């Protein structure tokens, strides 16, 4: 339950390719929904064990910044939880891209927009990845919290989840750099399903 997801080099490359396709879809979706040009940087994929996630988040949250943390449960073949982590400044910039006037932007609106972008990124990654490997998934309603330290983060993920896939990306609008990170927590069964599915995709190539 504590090891890093074991993917060989080919499987890692395959996952990176599938994620590139998924993020391409996410970029196109965001541009179409907001009717403005947006780009997502090529996602950097990193796989770690759930124990290492604690250290990883600790480094992130040690910067005296406040973060919005949005989590969404995934059911089905790729069951687990997606977490989107975005700092306060980036969230504010994101709200401006959703055509909100300065006087319309408050804590509630920002949360609403982070929830929406999480849902889009989550469905574009887990949803698209699922469709590319013939898996079935469904999503629960996402939830959002504002946190300042790791103490406010529920530590149960260490026992709940086996593996962690971190997808770092930057969402860019015309003059705005919005940094966010999507973290995919997968259960043991789903990690095995993903590994098998990736091998199958490679065989079919």
Partner 1 sequence: MSINNNVIFDTVNNGIIIIDEELKIHAWNNWLKIFTDIDAKDVLGKNICDLFSYINEKKLKRKIKTVLVTKNASFISLDTNDYLINIPVSNITNKVFSSMKQEVTILPYDYEQKLACIYIYDVTPLSEINYKLQKANEELIDMSHRDPLTHIYNRRYFAEQSGKILAFSKRNDLPLTILILDIDKFKNINDTYGHFVGDEVIIKVAKILSKHIRQSDIVARFGGEEFVMLLQNCDIQNGKNVAEKTRLDIQDSTITLKSKEIVDFTISIGVAQYDQKQDANNLEHTVSRADEALYKSKNNGRNQTTIAK
Q: How far is the CB of 71 from partner 1 (least distance, A)?
A: 11
Binding partner 1 (rule: CB under 8 A), the pick from 132, 144, 147, 150 is 144
- Is there a contact between 153 and 49 (Cβ–Cβ < 8 Å)? no
Binding partner 1 (rule: CB under 8 A), the pick from 46, 66, 96, 98 is 98
Query: Which of 173, 174, 78 is CA-nearest to residue 122?
Result: 78
For position 108 contacting partner 1 by CB under 8 A, the verdict is yes
Q: How far is the CB of 199 from partner 1 (least distance, A)?
A: 26
Query: Which of 120, 131, 139, 192 is CA-nearest to residue 163?
Result: 192
- Is there a contact between 94 and 171 (Cβ–Cβ < 8 Å)? yes
For position 171 contacting partner 1 by CB under 8 A, the verdict is no
- Is there a contact between 98 and 36 (Cβ–Cβ < 8 Å)? no
Question: Which residues have a Cβ under 8 Å from the Cβ of 119 and sit 6 or more positions away?
Answer: 72, 139, 142
For position 111 contacting partner 1 by CB under 8 A, the verdict is yes
Structure tokens at 92: 């504010």
Residues 10-29 that bind partner 1 (CB under 8 A): 29
How far is the C-alpha of 86 from the C-alpha of 84, rounded, in Å? 7
Structure tokens at 118: 């999480």
* Residue 28 C-alpha from the chain's centroid: 17
Q: How far is the CB of 74 from partner 1 (least distance, A)?
A: 11
Binding partner 1 (rule: CB under 8 A), the pick from 138, 152, 154, 202 is 138
For position 141 contacting partner 1 by CB under 8 A, the verdict is yes
Q: How far is the CB of 205 from partner 1 (least distance, A)?
A: 25
Of the pair 11, 68, the CB lying nearest partner 1 is at: 68
Query: Can you give the binding site for partner 1, defined by CB under 8 A?
Result: 29, 32-33, 98-99, 108, 111-112, 115-116, 119-120, 123-124, 127, 138-139, 141-144
């Amino acid at each position: 339950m504590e090891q890093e997801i074991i993917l060989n080099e080919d499987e890692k490359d395959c996952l990176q390719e599938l994620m590139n396709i998924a993020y391409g879809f996410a970029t196109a979706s965001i541009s179409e929904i907001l009717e403005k040009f947006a780009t997502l940087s090529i996602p950097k994929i990193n796989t770690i064990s759930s124990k290492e996630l604690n250290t990883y988040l600790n480094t992130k949250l040690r910067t005296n910044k406040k973060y919005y943390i949005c989590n969404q449960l995934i059911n089905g073949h790729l069951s687990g939880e997606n977490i989107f982590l975005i700092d306060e400044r980036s969230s504010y910039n994101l709200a401006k891209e959703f055509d909100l006037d300065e006087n319309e932007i408050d804590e509630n609106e920002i949360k609403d927009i982070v929830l929406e972008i999480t849902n889009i990124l989550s469905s574009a990654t887990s949803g698209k990845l699922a469709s590319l490997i013939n898996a079935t998934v469904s999503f629960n309603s996402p939830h959002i919290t504002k946190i300042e330290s790791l103490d406010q983060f529920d530590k149960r993920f260490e026992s709940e989840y086996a593996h962690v896939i971190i997808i770092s990306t930057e969402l860019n609008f015309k003059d705005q750099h919005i940094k966010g990170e999507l973290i995919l927590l997968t259960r043991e069964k789903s990690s095995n399903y993903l590994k098998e599915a990736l091998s199958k995709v490679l065989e079919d190539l």
